[in-house]
Structure 1
Amino acid sequence: MTAQDGSPEVTRLRLVILAALLAVQVSVILAAPMPAGQQTGCLAAVAALAVLQGMLFLRAARNSGLLRTGVLAVQGLATYLPLLTAGAAWPGMGGFLAASVLLVVPGPAAWALSGTVVVSLFAAALALGTGLRDANVIAVASLAIGLTMFAPCRLTDALGQAHSRHAEQAQLAVVRERLRFARDLHDLLGYSLNAITLRAELARRLMTSDPVSAGNELREVVATSREACADVRQVADGYRNISLAQEVASAAALLARADIAVSVEMNCGMLPDKVDSVLAMILRELITNVLRHSSARNCWITAEQTDEHVTLSVANDGVPRTAAVHRHGGGLENLAFRLEAVGGTLSATVRDNGRFHVLAAIASGADAPVGVR
């Protein structure tokens, strides 16, 4: 049961509707010219129908198949017995049963069975000699009462389902935002932290032999730390606009400090902002992987653009041929998600020459937000 469906306001509304329709049924029976015993039996049948209908209104009997079947069976007896045993009929006598069938029977069969109830009462009234006009009143009133009771239940059920879907979507949005934040932190800060580590290590080695160069390296450490702080703030904002050309230059300098020879080919010209930012973040993660997970001595960075696609290729040596190209939850998986968000693809292979090669391809006119997941 949803919170909306079981709220006090909804419960009161259903009970008020039930009480109003019960009052109509009772008043019609009391006004009908029938013997006292027959009238008492009809009132008892209506009371039983109302109690059972109340159980369905409050969903007390809609969660158990056996109880649900029992309620329908008893309602059927209370509806047809007065007609069959005493020949008593009143307008709307099948309304409670018709509504119950609509509430508990799934699918299109519910409407067929509910219509059968109304038609059977019409036919039974004619068979008992009540006349066409009175039989028509009994059937139409039963149909009207059934729909009147069914409609608010179906409406509140639909509202409850919509509320549940909205809550699920909100929860999914929170999960996606957490994943975005984690991926951006991994992709952006991993590079900066590796740069800080390399420069700090170099400064430590130069401290005694070349204090001036060591001081320069420490100033670079401070500058990179400030950039990392800015990255964190921009990740929290959900968008990061960085340039591929700047990242290529930065990556080349960082790899050189790690004694890795770099070959760079940039043949992509000016790129759309979204494409530029996505590829720049991908390059950051790939360079981080080169520094962390290989003993590379050479690295090749190539960016090319055609009329339809922009490709970024990063290859490095120093990788065993048996190295895994995929790790669940790792950086390459994050990059694949990031590219998929803008319609791109990522492939990674270890080639026969011992080089680890990653190729990212994205449509030249991709225009999805960088932070979309």
Structure 2
Amino acid sequence: MNLKPLLASGGAGVVLLALAGCVPNNPSSSDAAGAITVDSSADSCTVSADSATSGTLTFSVTNSGDQVTEFYLLGDDGLRIVGEVENVGPGISRDLVVQAQPGDYYTVCKPGMVGDGVGKAAFTVSGDRVELDGDLQAQVDQAATNYVAYVKDQVAQLVTGTDTFLDAYTSGDDATARSLYAITRANYERIEPVAESFGDLDPEIDFREADVAEGDEWTGWHRIEKDLFPPTAAENGGVEYTPLTQDQRTMYADKLRDNTQELYDAVHDPSYTVTIDAISNGAIGLLEEVASGKITGEEEIWSHTDLWDFQANLEGAKVAYEGVRDIALEKDPKLVDEIDQRFQTLQSTLATYGSLDSGFVYYNDLTTEQVKQLADQVNALSEPLSQLTATLVG
């Protein structure tokens, strides 16, 4: 996970409901202005309402502080992410669109995008459960079934790939571990919004060193990355990097293996499901991951394998989008055509730098002009893709 600012704003955040929600008949359940307003400052999170009626809710988030911020709608346990909008720069407003079923939730803002956040408050959704009728409901149900199957498959592959990678790492076979690092992570990067929906699981698996709050332990893929691709003193704040001991390698490997298994167990739980807005916002969230880290070289700062992650994020976004494409096509064929074309353009450009099978150019070998071209195409795709959720649930 990368928590740096986006190159361009726009789009709703990730929505992964552990509920069997359906597209609502009513177009909106927010206030008279059409949205619930959120003001995120340096030390508060002011939400204009603490309750709403079930259906499609729009939270219009404005950052009045001086740091990039995030806004979250959390489940009743205060950990599970029901919806999020990330990388809201100072003076910027962005919308989070969610389909909310009746229940208890929490709202919270996270200025600086680290720590526990500020202004955590209860939020209640009342009313009837929202259902659909006819063939459209069948399409929605099938899209959810297909996407859950995809997620389970990716996580199952991640478990076995991680085991192989960690076996090489803990045995001291660094050359093999380095060769497996980027390709193994692809399974995770394709479905990263799923992991983000399970509270602290994504931070423990995928936080970069810069993302870790003071006093917290840094674990996961990027802790091991730094040990496999050790920085020079100049790259490490002027301090010589100290390799991990064998016991430390084993400890971090065991932690990553356990967390990956926990993710597997979570998505294979019989109650695990997704909603149509979860799928579309997953696609949006994956493009946000590209824009906020991969395209800036800040995700894989030691290995420089950002383009492997970029490709996996793009593939995951495409799978999520295609799962709901036919439904969106009935509502806005022009939007679908635009998204199709921009996916194709971005994929074609990325393919000029390699593939997951053959490997990619390392990020630090790209020119400024090449990075700009990729960034421009990511932003060009993000703009129409950000409209997908509202089109589906509107």
TM-score strictly above 0.5 = no
More strand by share: 2
More helix by share: 1
TM-score by length of 2: 0.22
| Higher gyration radius (CA) | 1
Q: Which has the higher contact order (CA 8 A, sep 6+)?
A: 2
